[in-house]
Amino acid sequence: MGDSNISRRDGLRIVALFGKAFLASIFANLPMFALLLVPQLMRSRAGSETLLAIGTVVYLGLITLALLTTPRVTARAAPNEGWLPSTANATVHRIFQTQRGAFWQRIGEWCVLFALAQGAGLLIAWLLPYVSDNPRFGIPGQSRWIVHYRNYFVQAVTVYLFSCFSFAWLGMRFRALARR
């Protein structure tokens, strides 16, 4: 009975720490959320191909920035010995050098979770289409598509929250390796 209380307490502590890391990820990645809220930059049917290209490059840059800052963000939200904001990036570098298999496993987990974020967005887009044909298309000044911003917003929020979950997961998994 005593052991299960300890493990339950540890489990609750881990969930609480993950919650802090998740909230920190949500705040740290707000520029990504702002970008996701602009359909003209993120969807070809809502804007031009040029705007889509710009949005895609910026999105990839923000994903890269999130990956690079995740250790520090997680260390700020859930610090411990060996996992502090000032040392988190160096700790991840040390993990890469000394525990390559564990490092790449964490990166693989992040890839799966991030892909699930995109899949969740696709599911939402299928359930709540964000565009429809414009019956007035052909009249000067009318676009080919009508954007349903409420549905697009739900899709953007879904992708964003799942993405932030993936970044927090990665940070907490590196944090766990730093404790070894």
DSSP label at 139? B
Tell me the average pLDDT across 121-127: 94
φ, ψ (nearest 5 deg) of residue 137? -60, 140
Query: Which pLDDT value is given to residue 2?
Result: 46
Q: How large is the C-alpha radius of gyration of the chain? A: 20
- Cβ pair 96, 103 in contact under 8 A: yes
Query: Which pLDDT value is given to residue 78?
Result: 95
Name the band, by pLDDT with cuts 50, 70 and 90, for residue 142. low
Q: What is the mean pLDDT of the chain?
A: 90
Residue that wins the pLDDT comparison between 161 and 14: 161
- Cβ pair 40, 51 in contact under 8 A: yes
| Structure tokens that stand for 85 in this block | 């904001």
- Residues 67-121: tens digit of each pLDDT: 999 999 999 999 998 899 999 999 999 999 999 999 999 999 999 999 999 999 9
Query: Which pLDDT value is given to residue 180?
Result: 67
Name residue 146's beta-bridge partners. 132
How many angstroms separate the CA atoms of 92 and 99, rounded?
10
Query: Which pLDDT value is given to residue 144?
Result: 72
